[in-house]
Each structure stands twice: as structure tokens, then as C-alpha cells.
Amino acid sequence: MKKVAIVGAGQSRYGEFPEKGIKELFLEAYRDMLDSVDKGVDPSRIGAAYIGNLGSGGFQLGNMSALVSEFVGLPYVHTLRVENACASGGYAIVNAAMDVMSGAHDVVIAGGVEKMTDVSGVKQKYWLGVSGDTEYERLAGTTFAGLYALIAHRHMHEFGTTREQLSSVAVKNHANGALNPKAQFQREITLDKAMKSPYVARPLNLFDCCSTTDGASAVLICDADIASEFTDTPVHIRGFGTSSDYLAIHDRVSTVTLEGTKRAARAAYEMAGVTPTDIHAAEVHDCFTIAELLAYEDLGFCEKGEGGKFIEEGRSKIGGDKPVNASGGLKSKGHPIGSTGTGQAYEIFNQLRETVQKPSRQVKGAETGLIHNVGGSGGTVSVSILGR
């Protein structure tokens, strides 16, 4: 089976852009990706495009992958929209990697794009909510904030996790996002401000919840044997794993564990031949602050129940022993659903090549990175291991 490498990565600015559509956003990311390929690339060599997308604001629900592919100048490629809720981008990467590994194509794109701000806040909540169990959760009146609030309550009850520990995740990620010129929220917040913001779904408040965002990202993946034709510093996809789980949290064995994350991570670590201790930088799915604490635990960075202690000790900060979400994460960088997973890959690609735009955000000496992309409240999960 062929080995695969990432030789280019690009991302649009994340935020609210009423003047741009999904085509313009994806073109921005695509051009940024091409510019990052050191030795250049002839677009005619690209044989496939896997595009993560949930709904594009309801504007282009059908054939959207063909729409954005032809708009950037790739009208005749094998193209596929990948939809797995918020994990769509992560699954696009896995589909693209498997394509190259199979020998179907030598050069492919994994990308994602979303236009989240074209619809009302009420419609956004409905749109996101149907990524859970519609019959038993959505129709009962729950939201994702409500579901993660239930998870947070249980985590606090079982392990003594504190309100301050939850807010510390937001403070860390906003500090990182303040250094990221492509983040939606480029400003720091204080712990006091984070803890005193209005509740959304108790115990989660405004600063515990990520935003919904416009944005796009793309990575260029190729057969590792030809990577030197594009760059002398490729980033290899060493391993990946995916898993589904019960969509409704009441059906799961444990409310405070994302079993999909554990299984996807186990497969990725095994394929890559690494362990959690080998990870130097990680981008995890912090749609809510409690989700980042769960990721620490379920990815094996610490024991179950110790996520609060992990953040409190500063271990996940840039400069800590396990930097997490140096980009600012979903919380500060933004969460354009279909683009989130490939945006995580964009960040780790630059971290491992030491091409992060602001040196103060660079994780020094990082050689192995991880991306973790979650759909819904854990119904689908993708984990990929990247190595320099």
C-alpha cells in the first residue's frame, strides 16, 4: 500500500464575510494552498477533490463539491462532497489519503468550506442540531450546548472538575488565537471575564462555546514517492483512524467518554506506530470547553477525569509538554463546520514545517502532530497523525 504526504496547505481567514460565497472562500484557500507548495504544482496533476461540507448555509446543498472544484479551475476531476457533521473535514482527509494509498490517483485535494452566517441564528441552531439524534434529542428540545452541558455536569460530578478549569480552556485558546492572523477572534480574554459571562446552558457560558463561522481550507495530498517533486519538506500522514458511536448520549456506556475518539485514536496510533507521548502538537475539537478536556483524556494525554488538572497545570499551553490548539482552536480560530478538520491539518502542517506566521505561536521542535475532528456530540470522529 502506498504511503502519503501533504505537500501544501492553505486556509482562508475565518470569520463573517457577507460579501463572499462558498466559491470565493474556497478559492482563497485553494490559492493559499498552491502558494505553499515550494516547487509549484501543475493543477492538471490533481485527480480528485474531497470537500467537507455540512450545508453551506442552505445555499448549495447538491453538487457543491463540483461547484467549488470547477470554480478554482478543476472542472473534470473526481469530486465528492464529504458530510459527517462537524467531522466532515477530517473524513475528507481520510478519504483523500485512502484514494492515494489505493493508487487511484497520485495527487488529490482534501478540503472543506462552509458559509455559516447566511442564515438566521435560529436556523443555524436547527441546522446544527440535526447532526445529533433528531428523534430522541432534537425533537425533545435539546441543543448541542445543552448536550455538552449535560456532559460537563456529569464530569464535574464524577471528577470534581471546576468552573475555573473549563474557563481556562477558553483563556488559553483565545491567547493562542490572538496570535493567529487567520483566526476569527484575535483577542485575549481574562479568566474573570470568561467565568462571569452569561450562561448559554448551565454550566456552560458564552465563553465555553465556539462560534459558527464562514471559512475554507485545503491540503494537497500525494503519493509520498513523488513528494520531492513538490517540496523538500513534506509532512507525512503516518496514520489515521475513524469511528462512529451512538448519536444520542443516553445510549452510550459513559456520558463522560467519547468512545469514538478512543477507538479512532487507537487505530491512528497503531497505524502510525506511535503513542500519545510521541505527540508534540495537537489540534482537537473544542466546540465547547468541556470537549477539549474530554479530548485530553480520550486521546490518552492524561487519565480519565484528569482533564481539568491537565489544563490547570498549563500542560496544554504553547511551551507546555503537550501543546493543544496553538491555532486558537474552534473557540478562537472559528468553526466553519466542513472546513474545521482540514483547517486543523493546515495548522499542524505549518507547525511541523516551522512555517507558522508568528514565531511566538510556534511549537518548537515539533515533529509529530495530531488532528482530532468530532461530529455532533461524538457520533463520528476522525483522528490523523502527521509527521515531519
Report yes or no: 338 and 89 within 8 Å, Cβ to Cβ: yes
- The C-alpha angle with vertex 320 and arms to 261 and 195, in degrees rounded to 5, equals 75
* 160, burial (CB in 10 Å: exposed 0-12, middle 13-18, buried 19+): exposed
- Please give the Cα distance from 79 to 275 (Å, whole number): 34
For residue 223, give the amino acid letter.
D
**Which residues share a beta bridge with 84?**
86
**Which residues share a beta bridge with 80?**
50
**Matching residue, cell 476531476:** 77
Chain-centre distance for alpha carbon 272: 19
Per-residue exposure over 110-148, b if at least 16 CB sit within 10 Å of its own CB, e if not: bbbbbbbbbbeeeebeebbbebbbeeebbeeebbbbbbb
Cell of 347: 495548522
Counts of helices then strands in the chain (DSSP H, E): 12, 11
User: How is residue 117 annotated by DSSP?
Assistant: T
* Beta pairing, strands 48-52 & 78-82: parallel
* Helices 340-353 + 88-102 axis angle, to 10: 70
**Matching residue, cell 470554480:** 71
**Matching residue, cell 520531492:** 228
- Please give the Cα distance from 110 to 92 (Å, whole number): 5
3-state secondary structure of 170: helix
For residue 229, give the amino acid letter.
E
- Rg of the chain over Cα atoms, rounded to whole angstroms, equals 19
- Please give the Cα distance from 161 to 180 (Å, whole number): 29
The residues assigned a catalytic role are 86, 335
Report yes or no: 252 and 259 within 8 Å, Cβ to Cβ: yes
